[in-house]
Structure 1
Amino acid sequence: MRLDSARLSGGDARRGSLGDARRQAAHWCRRNRAGGDGTVAAARRRYGVLTRAQELRLIETIRDRFPDQLKLTGPLWSRQTVAALVERLYGIPLSPAATARYLRAWGLTPREPVDRACPLCAASVVRWQAQEYQAISHTAQRQRAELCWAGKTRLHGVTPATDVVSAVSARGRIRFMVTTEADLPREFLTRLLPTSGRPAHVIVDGSWSCTEWPRRVPEGVVLHALPTCERGR
């Protein structure tokens, strides 16, 4: 509920207004990340070889499931496993380029760190990238660890409400899951761990607040928070 500054003392009114402004900025910032850039409306897609009904069935098939649960290779979804599932479901050999178009429409594209923030957070992210990210990157290299960026986008035109949770490696490799879970899924983080047993460093954008991270982070996974309005600057 908005504070009425006329009913506050001068100092309290200023603090109340500032607090409101910060909350509103954080709310807008989060909406911008979760639903503004890179989201998809399945009903509006016009290209590709799948009909809308086929695409929706594809999403329904992989929602809250992993490839190995459908007897496909890989702990998380990728361009290759999506193409394999499309051929199984519809007998359609989806080309790598066509598969990539679908994934881009679902919001699965490599992004620069500053592109993962709203304009209010951009300066903080630039400073963070020049300082803290360098230390994270050096640690990952020393440990020969997986280093990736995690975020999510909302799939519009899909019921129930569904998000694509993705991880993009430093080399541009994209892995993802489609889920109705609002919090950062623990199982997703577990499946990011390399089979070699090495650790995984995951930079989490503002798609989730820290309270939405798993209470027990999987062993071997190290989470790093990208600066956002909610987390301070």
Structure 2
Amino acid sequence: MLRDAFPEDFGLAGSLWTRQSVLGLVEQTYGIPLSVPGIARYLRAWGLAPREPVDRACALCAMAVVQWQSDRYPEILQAAQLERADLYWAGRTRLHGVSPATEVVAAVSTRGWVRFLVTGETALPREFLSRLASQAGRDVHVVVDGSWATTEWPRRIPDGVVLHALPTCERGR
């Protein structure tokens, strides 16, 4: 139901999926009362769980990510704070237990908010970034993990979005 759909397609609030919107969809569609922690457990089982920056890197890039966190990340965090922007960490994963193969593009904010899109698209979706900024209601800085090479990023970045690349073997430092 979530693939290539948005909460508003089901009359729910929000422009991207959240724990709360999935909870609303389950209750609306199946009449099953669940809690937000219960939905969070389901999402985690499907592969949608926050990950640490080093977990987002391959073994060869781990040291570059640790160095990046100490050198570059404080500048990004400070810039986001000065602009009163939200800061998200974005990546993609394959949804577990679903056929055909389905990608999930997810962003987790430094405040713990989880926003995601279930899609078949393999490039970093411009619409995801645009909706992320609109749902936040302010500018967003997004640290993008190695799920996408920079060549797979949108050619035109939506207004209000600043992208930052986490180091990977493909991009170098």
TM-score (norm 1): 0.71
Alignment-derived partner of residue 204 in structure 1: 144
Alignment of 1:50-199 (within 5 A): 61-194=1-134, 198-199=138-139
Q: In the TM superposition, what whole-angstrom CA distance separates every residue of 1:132-188 from its partner, at most 9, and x where no partner exists? A: 111100000000001000001112442332111100001111110100001111110
| Alignment check: 8 A CA contact 2:149 2:171 kept | yes
Secondary structure of the corresponding residue to residue 132 of structure 2? coil
- Measure, in 1, the Cα distance between the counterparts of 2:45 and 2:25: 18
| Alignment check: 8 A CA contact 1:146 1:194 kept | no
- Pairwise CA distance, 1:227: 0.2
Number of aligned residue pairs: 173
Q: Give the structure with higher Rg (CA).
A: 1
Secondary structure of the corresponding residue to residue 133 of structure 2? coil
Alignment-derived partner of residue 227 in structure 1: 167
Instruction: Kindly provide the amino acid, as one letter, of the partner of residue 170 in structure 1.
Output: T
Q: Which is richer in helix?
A: 1
Moved more, 192-201 or 214-223: 192-201
User: Cα RMSD over matched residues?
Assistant: 1.4
Moved more, 217-226 or 100-109: 100-109
Alignment-derived partner of residue 37 in structure 1: none
Instruction: Kindly provide the amino acid, as one letter, of the partner of residue 21 in structure 2.
Output: T
- 5+ residue gaps, structure 1, are 1-60
Moved more, 153-162 or 135-144: 153-162
Secondary structure of the corresponding residue to residue 192 of structure 1? helix
Q: In the TM superposition, what whole-angstrom CA distance separates every residue of 1:57-93 from its partner, at most 9, and x where no partner exists? A: xxxx110011012210011101111011011111101
Secondary structure of the corresponding residue to residue 88 of structure 2? strand
Secondary structure of the corresponding residue to residue 38 of structure 2? helix
